[in-house]
């Protein structure tokens, strides 16, 4: 086992062997692809928002690839963290205007946003379920 594999697997712990892994990876990939649609417009209107959107897209892509290659608790936790932060960010952008970009406030049902958030929430739910089933995540 390489050093990278040991760090991803959390030492010498066994893989989760979760049947949900391809579904969680696919959901993360869909979330990444949906976020791609926002990057060009945000880069023009507010470069800091565009850069954050591009970073979110690349992070979701990396997590999707890791989920498809490694069945490790750390990867599921990363998916949960990124998906949760994306949901918090979506809620924040729909309730509070940002510098240079305020047109998203109140636009809860933007089709791309709904797809991105639904896929992100699905990735989080699948990751948490995989962790819970493996008993790697404490109950309660």
The pLDDT tens digits of the residues spanning 9-23 come to 555 456 788 889 999
Burial annotation 26-59 (CB, 10 A radius, 16+ → b, else e): bbbbbbbbbbbbbbeebeeebeebbeebbebbeb
> Model pTM?
0.79
Q: Determine the pLDDT at residue 12.
A: 47
User: How do residues 61-113 score in pLDDT, each as one tens digit?
Assistant: 999 999 989 889 999 999 999 999 999 988 888 888 766 666 667 778 888 88
CA atoms within 13 A on the CB side of 120: 26
Tokens of 41: 């417009």
Residue 42 has a pLDDT of 78
Q: Which pLDDT belongs to residue 10?
A: 52
What HEC string does the chain produce?
CCHHHHHHHCCCCCCCCCCCHHHHHHHHHHHHHHHHCCHHHHHHHCHHHHHHHHHHHHHHHHHHHHHHHCCCHHHHHHHHHHHHHHHHHHHHHHHCCECCECCCCCCCCCHHHHHHHHHHHHHHHHHHHHHHHHCCCCCC
Chain-centre distance of CA 131, in angstroms?
Answer: 16
Enumerate the domain spans of the chain.
19-134
pLDDT of residue 28: 96
pLDDT at 3 > cutoff 90: no
Q: What is the pLDDT of residues 27-69, one digit of tens each?
A: 999 999 998 988 888 788 878 888 888 999 999 999 999 998 9
**Residue 11: predicted pLDDT:** 52
């Amino acid at each position: 086992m390489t050093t990278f594999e040991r760090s991803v697997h959390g030492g010498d712990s066994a893989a989760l062997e979760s049947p949900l892994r391809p579904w969680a990876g696919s959901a993360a990939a869909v979330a990444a692809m949906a976020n791609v649609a926002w990057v060009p417009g945000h880069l023009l209107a507010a470069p800091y928002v565009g850069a954050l959107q591009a970073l979110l897209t690349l992070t979701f892509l990396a997590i999707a690839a890791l989920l498809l290659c490694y069945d490790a608790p750390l990867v599921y936790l990363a998916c949960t963290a990124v998906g949760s932060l994306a949901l918090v960010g979506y809620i924040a952008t729909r309730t509070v205007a940002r510098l240079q970009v305020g047109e998203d406030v109140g636009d809860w049902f933007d089709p791309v946003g709904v797809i991105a958030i639904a896929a992100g929430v699905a990735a989080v739910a699948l990751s948490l379920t995989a962790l819970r089933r493996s008993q790697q995540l404490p109950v309660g």
